[in-house]
Structure 1
Amino acid sequence: MLDRYPLLSRLSLMLACLASLSAALFVSAGVAARLESLALAQPDGDAAARLAGVGLIQVVLMFLFVAGCGLILRTAWKVLAVRTDLALARVAAHTAGAVAAPAGGIDEIDRLVRSLDSVAAQLAGRLADGERLSRHAREQERFAARSLEFIYRACANLAENSASAPWLTTLLEDMADCLQAHCCSLALLDPVAEGLGVPAVLGAPRLARLLDEFDADELARSGGLRRSVAGPDGEIVELAVPVRDADNIYGVLIVEARGDFLFESRHRRLVDAVAGLFALSLGNLQRNQRRRRLALMDERSAIAGELHDSLAQALSYMKLQIARLQLEIGRSCSACAPGGTVLDISGEIKTGLDSAYRHLRELLSAFRTSMPPGGLQQALREVVEELSARAGTEIGLDYRLGDVPLSANEEFHLLQIVREALTNVVRHARADHALIRLERDEDGEVLVLVEDDGRGIQPDNGGEGHHGVSIMHERARQLGGSLTLDEGAGGAGTCVEVRFRPRSAPG
């Protein structure tokens, strides 16, 4: 027991010594009193000498007693005041203090100091953990607030805007800011991008480096990718998430962040939610476009059926009748010699009927033309491939209307105008090269140019394909625009130019 408390044992020993000294002083005082009485009774005896010896002993005992009291007071002050103050100061400062306790410990105060140091260290660790958890909680709260605000803006934009390139880029910028990432990119499959009229690859503030190594279709169909690689500015981490719904795959969403960024579950959930929003938007737009095109095709097919069942049959019947009339006039009317007025009039009627019938067949063909899922750009590409393979003319397509919203009716009219212009190039121009260019000028008008290097036509009479030219003029008027024919670049060939303002464009 005393081994565990050496300070108490030392104090007890010192107090026992003081008690012994006190007892010795008390005994010596009694002896001195007796010797003093003897010395008074017998002056000539040896009592006086013994009394002097006892006095000397008392002085020594008194000196030892005073020294022991001073030693006890000094030890008590050092232990109970100085070392206790140091221990309390170390506890108050939560540190090991300037005076370190021995590793093995000397007394209770040393063990108390070590215990207090341990408690202080634990408290400091708990405070550090609490501060770290508090910072993490505040960061989680800020991220949740930014994520909710971002999702709200994305849903609002989704409800108000179509999937144009600026809209998609804005969402990618907001997402990069919310995740504090280097960049965010959206890579769409080619049919999806062509159908929506947007670039196949978008990025904010730049494109992800992952797209330099992998194809968007490969990433989307493989289920995405997550990896850490060395970049020009240090290590980076990349995450690719497919943009898909239950029916289709539209592309892949890529996030590139710094190397120490950990894609926790909250970050992954946000990226998945954005990918789902993109898929929802793109899917709805594609379905709406298909519905509008199907509705328009159904209407045109119904009109074509009505024309075929009524006007086409009537014109066919009239053509047969005018042929019979000419035959009967030649047989039975002796006054109707060749070159006569009656025969000329019947010939003009037949020519007019042939022209009307040809116009009607062209209208029926146009009404029955279907628009592919990829929209105008895909339809023009199919026309170019068809006519290039059939005629051997090299035809180029420069399509720059990706961000221009066109109605289904406008797309059909443009397709028919370009088809008719290319048909005239193939049939009449004898051209080696042709170019189709579609773009939007600074005033917001759509400009369509069909140029060739053939023999050209006269702008006044329209050339050999004047029936087709008149139909093109009529389609341009229905678009609210104009169509002009002129010489091509350098005075060679022909240039067909169409200008109109889309219905959805601001006035």
Structure 2
Amino acid sequence: MAVAVCAALALLAQPILTAAWTSDAVRFIARAAQLQERAMSLSHQVPATAATREWLDETRLLLDALPFRIELPVAPPPATFDSIATAMPVLEAGTLAVAEALQRHLRVDIAVRIALLLVAAGGASIGLHLRRNAEQFARESAAHMLAAAPPPDRWLDLLDRVIAELAGPALGRQALKKLSEGLGEALDASACGICLSEDIQESMQLPPVIHAGELGWAQVEQLRLLSVAGRYQTFELGSSSGRDNEVSRGIAVPVGDGSTWYGHLFAVGPEWGEHPTIRVQVIELVSKHVAMAIGHSRRTREGRRLALIEERTSMARELHDSLAQSLSFMKIQVSRVQTLLQRGRPSEEVAAAAEELRDGLNGAYRKLRELLNTFRTQINAGGLAAALDEALEEYGERSSVAMTLDNRLGNYHLSANEEFHVVQIVREALSNVVRHAGASHAIVKLALREDGWTAVTIEDDGGGFEPAADHWNHHGATIMRERALSLGGALSIERRPQGGCRVTASFKSTAGEE
């Protein structure tokens, strides 16, 4: 009997304990939602405004104190946030992680309550029926244990299903349909779905209405044209069979983040009894998760589009800085040869001009091949070290120069853009070593300096160079210097005291240590 009393007291105290350890998570999620709403009205430009800096400071403080001692996956640390665009994905990831942790803790809480309820009921039954015979006690104890088991929490199951569907690699028609099915099962609805705005349909290549359950064409069209104003809106849906006396009722909730409207979620009856407010809250919660997923998908697509534009711009710059200049030089040489022939100049002079033209063609062809290799270059899954090993192996096979890589960056990682430019600087420098230096050995060094800058050094033991030499001015030095400047750094080319040449590119990385 004492065990039953203790279990009952613990069961009474459980709600207080639950409120105590879930309050931080609930406050975090609420605060994160407020920051996300404020972010919609703030400027995303750099440098940040005073309001944006205040928003970033509040976001850093919030992410520095995650509930349940949660550690976020690999992401830029909060101290490095310089814009809303960099902070928002981390805030969203933090909110999702806290929600998942809260879900797991609530499940444990439910299991503890069930266990305490079973202990209390069983203990009470045993205390009341010990005086009776063993068979009577066994029958009544089994009945109490069966009666004490509460029904499963379908709302937690729904939240788990929503998170699972929206956490996939791409938000598409199949994921939204499965989400609609789960929402319909949780709400006991005859049909559930989402209507998307024309902008979302076009950008994500999705149909206007995605739903689960039986709906006629006229009903789908009525739901698509439905205008949802305010927090939610109730509606009546005509029968799919055309009978006037058959009317279904439902609830629609807008889907959007801040000032951007993505569409609306809807659920069609049966009648939902005494608790329609609970259904509205559930649909609102699902709509917020869908809005976050759609927003993340749109930002990802926009990032890919900008990356494609940047890549095309880089290709155009490479063509202009190298091949276009070589073609312009050859055009001048052709005009020169034509002039010499028209004026009847000696054949030796014409042959010298033709030889210069041949050299220009050979240089243009070589540059074209190097540009093609540059455009095909990608940082593979092995990262920067693997890409540099591949470059050293390629240029080592072209010549008798021994190539060595000395990578001392350790756990310090560069961004994808920085890795790409580093690889191209190294390739251009090695190309000059192979073609002009007359070296027997070359070494590529990567190191992190004491001032926090990354230094990339390419050294050889060849014959050195003259600062005014044509091959350094026109066969890569300018392009390497522009790449270093694009990273906010600098490039230096100097003669080594012991002989040979040293090319050093240094810059401040925007990534950092994992």
TM-score by length of 2: 0.39
TM-score by length of 1: 0.40
